[in-house]
Amino acid sequence: MHVREVQTFVLKVQSDMPYLGALADGSELTADAGYVVRAPWRSLYSARFETLLVKVTADDGTAGWGEALAPVGPEVVAEIVDRLLAPQVIGMDARAPRVAFAALRALMRERGHLVGHQADALAALDIAMWDLAGHATGQSVATLLGGAFRTEVPCYVSGLPSPTDAGRAELAAAWQEKGAERVKLHLGNGVAADLATVDAVQAAAPRIGFAVDAHWRYGLPEATRLGRGLAERGALFLEAPMAPEDVEGHRRLADRLELPVAVGEALRNRYEFAQWLRAGALGLAQPDVGRTGITEAAAIAELAAAHHAPLAPHHSVGLGPTLAAGLHLSAAVEDCPFFEYQPVTADAAARLLGFDLGARADAFTLPDGPGLGLAIAEQPVRDAAVRHRTTR
């Protein structure tokens, strides 16, 4: 059984609520604004759910689906798949995703393209190849990875999409009533403001554990003050406190704090994670399968285990395949305390792709069936695609 064709679908899906809700000043993020910076953060965001889906089909008609985490400019990642990767994967063994990953990773490696958009494109194809291998063998991805330690994957609710503390507190209280056990706050608004938000949320939802994503906003002194304040309040972890390339700064921060420093969404491979883990610069590893692929994420999980660091995969605006891939990875990792649950993203994926991954306020049920366990409705994907190409 060999790969016969690769299809790419660039999607830009309008939703009732954009990822993370209104802007900090309370104004709405609209699709006609293009890409914007959500101050005080520095990254570009879109009002739409933008992603790249990849479908890989074998010569007997068996197919697998993958996805790249591409929240802005998914056309860029699609171009890499179409021009560089898809022509090489044609004819490869449809049941050997790790072999395909190794060959595809090497294509641009010596030219310095082991990260960035090249890695994102490779991740999409890798997820599709694992899904295809699962359908070809009748086994789930978790089984192909060696078996599931759990079929119920604990999660934390990520976002609380309100620009005010009162609004976040109200949302936290509502999630507590729904059975949520953990939430993550997207902050980075200044140390005093961040701690005030935490206090408001804890007062409204005292039974919920919490974590903070600082969106890379702080220097070492501010991150230290924030981390110590969060530790005093019993935080689960502090995510992305400083510049994503500052390994030494995060090492010094980790030495000062009595809570895990969580890092990983900006990293793409085992070599980057090895540097951070050897330095003692992170206490919770957060690879995003939409940027690493399943093959690389599994290697990262083993590295983390060797350094006694739990693995909690990152998940943001990826739709169905990245969500399912993250869940299968989480199930197959021994020390995985929880997975990130983005309710607005999950709802958008269910409406577009025609499936429900069984998210609850406190956990996901591992998708059943071969491969990723998805039954994607292809016609809505074709209808929604702003660009669709086929390589044979």
Burial class (CB in 10 A: 0-12, 13-18, 19+), 4: middle
Q: Looking at the structure, do residues 340 and 207 belong to the same domain, yes or no? A: yes
Q: Looking at the structure, do residues 258 and 298 belong to the same domain, yes or no? A: yes
- Distance (Å, whole) CA 58 – CA 347: 30
Per-residue pLDDT tens over the stretch 68-78: 999 999 999 99
- Distance (Å, whole) CA 374 – CA 372: 6
Q: How many other CB atoms sit within 10 Å of the CB of residue 366?
A: 22
- 30 within some domain: yes
Helix residue ranges, H only, 64-185: 74-80, 86-89, 97-105, 116-137, 141-144, 165-178
For the chain, give the mean pLDDT. Answer: 95
Confidence of residue 230 (pLDDT cuts 50, 70, 90): very high
Amino acid 270: pLDDT = 98
CATH code assigned at 263: 3.20.20.120
Percent of the chain with pLDDT over 90: 84
CATH code assigned at 10: 3.30.390.10
Give the pLDDT mean for 274-286: 98
pLDDT reading at 32 higher than 80: no
Q: Looking at the structure, do residues 115 and 186 belong to the same domain, yes or no? A: no
pLDDT reading at 10 higher than 80: yes
Confidence of residue 356 (pLDDT cuts 50, 70, 90): confident
Give the pLDDT mean for 36-56: 92
In the chain, the number of structural domains is 2
- 370 within some domain: no
Per-residue pLDDT tens over the stretch 300-328: 999 999 999 999 999 999 889 999 999 99
Give the pLDDT mean for 325-344: 96
Amino acid 259: pLDDT = 96
Q: Looking at the structure, do residues 89 and 189 belong to the same domain, yes or no? A: no
Which tokens in the block code for residue 249? Answer: 């700064």
- 57 within some domain: yes
**Helices then strands (H, E): number in the chain?**
14, 14
- 224 within some domain: yes
Q: Looking at the structure, do residues 47 and 34 belong to the same domain, yes or no? A: yes
Q: Which of 30 and 177 is assigned the larger pLDDT?
A: 177
Amino acid 100: pLDDT = 98
- Distance (Å, whole) CA 346 – CA 358: 10
Angle separating helix axes 320-332 and 289-306, nearest 10 degrees: 10
- 253 within some domain: yes
Residues linked to residue 285 through DSSP beta bridges, in sequence order: 263, 311
Give the pLDDT mean for 80-94: 98
Helix residue ranges, H only, 93-151: 97-105, 116-137, 141-144
Q: Looking at the structure, do residues 153 and 13 belong to the same domain, yes or no? A: no
- Distance (Å, whole) CA 50 – CA 271: 28
The helix (H) or strand (E) run that includes residue 380 is helix 378-384
Q: Looking at the structure, do residues 55 and 163 belong to the same domain, yes or no? A: no
Amino acid 310: pLDDT = 98
Give the pLDDT mean for 276-290: 98
pLDDT reading at 22 higher than 90: no
- 44 within some domain: yes
Which tokens in the block code for residue 82? Answer: 């179409």
Q: Which of 132 and 317 is assigned the larger pLDDT?
A: 132
Q: Looking at the structure, do residues 189 and 334 belong to the same domain, yes or no? A: yes
- 233 within some domain: yes
Q: Looking at the structure, do residues 133 and 210 belong to the same domain, yes or no? A: no
Q: How many other CB atoms sit within 10 Å of the CB of residue 207?
A: 9
User: pTM value?
Assistant: 0.96
Q: Looking at the structure, do residues 92 and 158 belong to the same domain, yes or no? A: no
pLDDT reading at 95 higher than 80: yes
Q: Are 4 and 391 in contact (CB under 8 A)?
A: no
Confidence of residue 26 (pLDDT cuts 50, 70, 90): confident
pLDDT reading at 132 higher than 90: yes
pLDDT reading at 357 higher than 90: no
Give the pLDDT mean for 162-177: 96
pLDDT reading at 24 higher than 90: no
- 371 within some domain: no
Helix (H, G, I), strand (E, B) or coil at 280: coil
Per-residue pLDDT tens over the stretch 200-227: 999 999 999 999 999 999 999 999 999 9
Amino acid at 116: G
Amino acid 347: pLDDT = 87
Q: Looking at the structure, do residues 15 and 162 belong to the same domain, yes or no? A: no
Confidence of residue 15 (pLDDT cuts 50, 70, 90): confident
Q: Looking at the structure, do residues 260 and 287 belong to the same domain, yes or no? A: yes
Q: Which of 37 and 21 is assigned the larger pLDDT?
A: 37
Q: Which domain holds residue 93?
A: 3-139+376-391
Biggest distance spanned by C-alpha atoms of the chain: 60
Which tokens in the block code for residue 5? Answer: 């064709």
